[in-house]
Structure 1
Amino acid sequence: MPEPSKEEIEARAYQLWEQAGIPVGREKEFWNLAEQELRNEDKSSPVRTPDTL
C-alpha cells in the first residue's frame, strides 16, 4: 500500500479532531495521529507501533 495521500490524512485528522471536541491549536497533533493511523493500516509499514503487531 502506498503512503496515505494528503487528502486521506486531512479527512482522518478532521474526524479525530471533531471526536476530540474540536480543540484549538492542536491541528498538527491530529495530523500526525491520522498519518500514523493510516500508515498502520498497511501491515508492511516500517512505522508500525508494537501494539499493532
Structure 2
Amino acid sequence: MGKPTSMDIVRRAYELWELAGKPEGKDQEFYHQAERELMDKAEKGAEEPRIE
C-alpha cells in the first residue's frame, strides 16, 4: 500500500465520524485521526517484505 490519497483520508474520517455518533464541529479531528491511521498503516506496510 502506498501513501493514502486525500480521498482515502476523507472516507476514513467519515467512517470515524459516523462511529462516533456524528458529532458536530469535529471534522478536523476526525480528518487528522484518519490521516494518522492511514499513514501509520502505509508505513508499516512499506517495512514488511513482500512475498509473492
Do they superpose with TM above 0.5?
Answer: yes
Structure 1: stretches of 5+ with no match in the other structure: 46-53
| Richer in helix (by share) | 2
Cα root mean square deviation, aligned: 1.5
* Number of residue-to-residue matches in the alignment: 45
Ranked by relative contact order (alpha carbons within 8 Å, sequence separation 6 or more), the top structure is 2
Task: Using structure 1 for the length normalisation, give the TM-score.
Answer: 0.75
After TM superposition, what 4+ stretches of structure 1 lie above 4 angstroms from structure 2?
A: none
Structure showing greater Rg? 2
Q: Which residue of 2 aligns with 1:19?
A: 19
Identity %: 44
Task: Using structure 2 for the length normalisation, give the TM-score.
Answer: 0.77
Q: Which residue of 2 aligns with 1:5?
A: 5
